[in-house]
Structure 1
Amino acid sequence: MALLLLILGQQGILPLGDTADAPDSLPTATIAAALTDSPTSAPTQAPQQTAINAPQDIADYIFAHGTLPDNFMTKSEARQLGWDSSKNYVSDVAPGYSIGGDKFGNYEGLLPDASGRKWYEADANYTAGPRGAERILYSSDGLVYYTNDHYQTFTEMHPSGK
């Protein structure tokens, strides 16, 4: 694990010191790419695993693995594939994928704040077409929340115990 963190830090993917230097988004394929010898590219087909889209399933995956499932990509990754939120849908350019991993500002202060804590967001219950109002918000220190009304209210999530 220490070697992985060192590699990611040396590549500028993760900060080596203060979390204030943490990136604004964490591409979901970052760790896998850092551990392989061959270069990776943006996905051209649906993810290998069954897509994880239900809020509790996403939360359970984050609790177990500390990251999003592989059927998520950042907005930047989707744009590289041709996604333009004003012209098409994520499902048009990346079938089977959802948006997730981008920084969430928490500017309204509705989620718990702590020194060094960073918040990230992910679509929930997305399969195709327009993105809905449901999101998972997860923090750099392990908190997970769900909103079904596009950031108006939040419910803290816990592992389901599956």
Structure 2
Amino acid sequence: MVYEAVEESGLYTTKDSVAAYLCKFDKLPANYVGKNEGKKLYESKTGNTFEKWNFNPWTTIGVMIGGDNFDNLASNPENFHETLPEGSYHEADVDYSGANRGTKRLVYQPDCVIYYTSDHYDTFYKLEIK
């Protein structure tokens, strides 16, 4: 089972392994950085000015993007998703494939409350871990 296999020192990128890590350790693996840190790393490692996420952070700069806030509050209709319970969450990219960040994300809260979206927040599926 993935939950038993993840180790705190491990680096993980897939939906199942990152979700198991979040449940087991209540934090993202060490290979995750927030968007601002990812932008700075991109500029320092490539020498290019960051313009947009039109690259794969894992293969380009060796990190996954995650940990930033994701608010799903009815008071903010632009970002409110009816398929996700109202509240404050964090988000993490998973399963990069191709030349950019893709559309697959985990949206999570403490205590192993994790939702998965493969279509960049159009639909969410609650994950059951363990």
Distance 1:91 1:85, change over 3 A: farther
Q: Is the 8 A contact 2:92 2:106 kept in 1?
A: yes
Match of 2:31 in 1: 71
> What is the CA-CA distance between 1:139 and the residue it aligns to?
1.3
Task: Indicate which of 111, 117, 130 corresponds to 1:147.
Answer: 117
TM-score by length of 2: 0.71
Paired residue secondary structure (2:100): coil
2:127 is aligned with 1:157: yes
> For 1:97-116, what aligned pairs fall within 5 Å after superposition?
97-106=63-72, 107-110=79-82, 111-113=84-86
Which amino acid is the alignment partner of residue 98 of structure 1?
M
Q: Is the 8 A contact 1:91 1:128 kept in 2?
A: no
> What is the CA-CA distance between 1:71 and the residue it aligns to?
1.1
Q: Distance in 1 between matches of 2:16 and 2:10?
A: 15
Match of 1:94 in 2: 61
Q: Deviations over 1:87-123 (max 9, x none)?
A: 752246522x11000111223143212xxx5201000
TM-score by length of 1: 0.58
Which amino acid is the alignment partner of residue 58 of structure 1?
V
| Structure 2 residues not aligned, in runs of 5+ | 1-8, 44-48, 73-78
| Structure 1 residues not aligned, in runs of 5+ | 1-48
> For 1:42-57, what aligned pairs fall within 5 Å after superposition?
50-57=10-17
2:100 is aligned with 1:133: no
Match of 2:76 in 1: none
Which amino acid is the alignment partner of residue 52 of structure 1?
Y
RMSD: 2.3
State the aligned residue count.
108
Q: Deviations over 1:106-144 (max 9, x none)?
A: 23143212xxx5201000102663011100000145410
Instruction: Kindly name which structure, 1 or 2, has the bigger radius of gyration based on alpha carbons.
Output: 1
Distance 1:125 1:59, change over 3 A: same
